[in-house]
Amino acid sequence: MPNFWSDPVGFLIQWLTNLLTGLGLSPELVKFLLAFLGAALLPLMAMLFVVFLIWYERKLYARMQDRFGPNRLGPWGIFQTFADMGKIFTKEIITPAGVDLIPFNLAPILAVGAVLLVWAVMPLAPRIVGVDLSVGLIFVIAAGGFGELAIMLAGWGSNNKYALLGGFRAVALLLSYEVPMVIAMLIPAMLAGSLNLVEIVASQDVPYLLLAPVAALIFFITQVAESGRAPFDLVEAESELVAGYNTEYSGLKFGMFYVAEFLHAFTSSMLFVTLFLGGYRGPFANEFPLLGLVYLMVKTFIVYFVTILFRGALPRFRIDQMLDLNWKVLTPLILAMVFVTALVDKIVVQAGGPLLVRTIVLFVVNMLIFWFSSKLLQRNVRPPRRKVSVQRPLATANVTPSASQGQDNLSA
């Protein structure tokens, strides 16, 4: 029987197998029950984790804005989220007249399900992963598309012009930013030589953040945009769209969109850690997988903290500014990075350079391209204003009209 500290999942599976077999169940039924239990347990843990994420984010925003945040229910306000859950579960679910019932009711389910699907292939620790897919990165990309589809379905099916505009903006914003995001995800796969997330983590003897810092920066920006958060929250712009795509939702259906937003932001941070920060890797992580889970959570919360600062510090962009940033800056830059990274890495590997040389060369090349791109942007993207010559009027004498002139003008 496996040791709990070296293989906790294997230990629990073996213990449950012996327990169910002792009850007289067939091996096929035992295998099905264990698979069903694992498929139900992981999403349940992720959904419960959202309770802490909501409290954590509220407290951080309160500190940034010189407020207390939740501070009434429980110590430090930790039970405030449970009160909000009770309110959401007991509120009336209203379905407006004229909505398209199938997309309207399917959208909240897809919004949450898309995020939970990503957790199925996420390596949480050594030997702790839901499904070890050889094409796990492609699965993540495909699952992420369901979240964008949910927003479009909600906007289209609500029979509301504000929600429809939110759905249109989802097409313009989310689908546009998915292009550089997917291309940025190819660079870790190219450096690791695999699409398997477990193998990508295992290959990071040096975090890919040092080998591809520009790709990491672009992926971070695009994953913030994909989560629909400020400053990229035009699909849910309260100042102009009331509440955007979810205007007509209430009760638990609205709560599912709310949960999906928080869970998506945290899951995107975890994906960033998996691709660019070595995932669960750390001292003694292979010997003690639970320690690897701790490493993963610490790294993820650091990235999540930066995401929250990103949201709280920057104002909302205009739609034209966001599209210009995507199509004129991020997409050309990441395409150039894919080409240069593949070429330089191939040359270094063929030359037999050690890992340190490979890291230094790729890091220097990334910094040179970033510097050149910034100079190019300063010259071309925002040209200086044209100088306009202003001609001053000629000075006129300060002549005071006489009384007779004033009377003549008055009579006229």
Question: What count of other Cβ atoms lies within 10 Å of the Cβ of residue 345?
Answer: 20
Dihedral angle over CA of 203, 122, 185, 343, nearest 10: 10
Condensed to tens digits (0 to 9), the pLDDT of residues 237-265 reads 766 767 778 888 888 888 888 888 889 99
Condensed to tens digits (0 to 9), the pLDDT of residues 117-175 reads 999 999 999 988 888 899 999 999 999 888 888 888 888 888 888 888 888 888 788 88
Select from 285, 399, 333, 395 the least CA-distant residue to 180: 333
pTM, 2 dp: 0.87
Per-residue pLDDT at 268: 93
With cut-offs at 50, 70 and 90, classify the pLDDT of residue 3.
Answer: confident
Residue 358, in any domain of the structure: yes
Give me the domain span that covers residue 306.
91-380
Percent of the chain with pLDDT over 90: 36
Per-residue pLDDT at 361: 92
Q: Which residue has the higher pLDDT, 204 or 396?
A: 204
The torsion angles phi and psi of 194, rounded to 5 degrees, stand at -160, 155
Residue 85, in any domain of the structure: no
Residue 49, in any domain of the structure: no
Select from 117, 46, 39 the least CA-distant residue to 300: 46
Flag the least confident range among 159-163, 184-188, 300-304. Answer: 159-163
Per-residue pLDDT at 226: 85
Domain count of the chain?
A: 1
Residue at token pair 């169940």? 25
Long-range contact list for 368-375, CB < 8 A, 24+ apart?
A: 369/214, 369/333, 369/336, 369/337, 369/340, 370/213, 370/214, 373/329, 373/333
Residue 24, in any domain of the structure: no
Alpha-carbon span 407 to 397, nearest angstrom: 22
83-110: average pLDDT: 88
Condensed to tens digits (0 to 9), the pLDDT of residues 326-368 reads 998 999 999 999 999 999 998 998 888 888 999 999 999 999 9
Percent of the chain with pLDDT over 70: 91
SS3 128: strand
320-331: average pLDDT: 89
Residue 130, in any domain of the structure: yes
Residue 46, in any domain of the structure: no
Residue 30, in any domain of the structure: no
Burial (CB < 10 A; 0-12, 13-18, 19+), residue 252, is: middle
Rounded to whole angstroms, what are the CA distances from 213 to 192, 355, 359, 370, 374?
Answer: 16, 16, 11, 9, 15
Residue 400, in any domain of the structure: no
Select from 260, 235, 237 the least CA-distant residue to 47: 260
